[in-house]
Amino acid sequence: MGEAVLKDCSPVDFRHSKSRSLFEYWQSLPRQDLVPFRHSFLPEQVPSLLSTMLLYELVSPDFIKIRLLGSLIADRFGAYRTGTNYLDFVEQSRRKNAAGALWALARHPCGMRVFLKQELWSGRNALLETVGLPLLNDTPGGNPLVIFQSNEVFQDHEGEFVEKRQINEVPPEGNSLLDRPGQPGSKTQIRYIHLNRREYFDLGAGVTDFVDR
């Protein structure tokens, strides 16, 4: 997809064009120091990103509130679950780390790119590139905010993540998981979210030293 270059920092090789578009829009916003205010971030200005956009409010280590949920992501979650806890969709053993990674981004402003595996009720594993960027809450004493763009990617024959399948490639048939008859939810809805790889990138103040454990 090409590289998005941050001033005085290393380039970021985004694998989906919408990840790059979110970063470029975020970078264009007026800001105080490194991070733009929430009021300057107007999703309607980037309509092509709306359906795969998320906004999280970091309420506590145990509660990551979903404030905004794009329509395509809502379909995966099974409903417009704004106001609910994102951590409820993360596998139990990883919830502490998932919350810690988001709080690390807010405490030390930097960007985050994650490759996730979404385990669907059909048994299929969907791979996503998810890019997160911090926003300053306009409300005095308000909780930190993180805006995300999350889009499906595929692995090519060399194992690299790419935006589109290669021509004539056969779609995966559920990978290692089996259908679960009798379970709730449609086949394209999320059962759990698993981490494939996480990395932080510099926005001008270095990156957090948070490490997944």
Confidence of residue 190 (pLDDT cuts 50, 70, 90): low
Q: Strand, helix or coil at 107?
A: helix
Question: DSSP character for 137?
Answer: -
pLDDT at 74: 82
CATH of the domain at 107: 3.30.450.20
Task: Report d(CA 86, CA 67) in Å as an integer.
Answer: 10
- Is 167 domain-assigned? yes
CA-based nearest residue to 118, from 84, 61, 77 = 77
The values of phi and psi at residue 107, to 5°, are -75, -30
Q: What is the DSSP string of 4-22?
A: BPPTTS--B--SSHHHHHH
- Is 3 domain-assigned? no
Query: Can you say whether residue 159 is alpha, beta or left, with left for phi > 0 and alpha for psi between -120 and 50 degrees?
Result: left
Q: Are 115 and 197 spatial neighbours (Cβ–Cβ below 8 Å)?
A: yes
In one-letter notation, the amino acid at residue 95 is: R
- What domain range is 118 assigned to? 17-41+49-201
Q: How many domains would you assign to the chain?
A: 1
pLDDT tens by residue, 53-109: 999 999 999 999 999 999 888 877 666 688 999 998 888 888 999 999 999 998 999
- Is 72 domain-assigned? yes
In one-letter notation, the amino acid at residue 122 is: S
Angle 135-197-114 from CA coordinates, rounded to 5° = 25
- Separation in Å, CA 48 to CA 21, 34, 51, 209: 9, 25, 7, 33
- Is 127 domain-assigned? yes
Angle 160-127-150 from CA coordinates, rounded to 5° = 105
pLDDT at 189: 67
Confidence of residue 165 (pLDDT cuts 50, 70, 90): low
Q: How many CA atoms lie within 13 A of 185 on its CB side?
A: 20
pTM beyond 0.85: no
- Is 8 domain-assigned? no
Asked if residue 193 has pLDDT above 90, the reply is no
pLDDT at 141: 87
Task: Report d(CA 84, CA 138) in Å as an integer.
Answer: 21
- Is 2 domain-assigned? no
Task: Report d(CA 32, CA 211) in Å as an integer.
Answer: 28
pLDDT tens by residue, 14-67: 999 999 999 999 999 988 788 999 999 998 999 999 999 999 999 999 999 999
- Is 168 domain-assigned? yes
- Separation in Å, CA 161 to CA 8, 156, 173: 26, 7, 18
CA-based nearest residue to 136, from 21, 206, 31 = 31
Helices and strands in the chain, H and E counts:
3, 9
User: Partners of 39 in the beta sheet?
Assistant: none
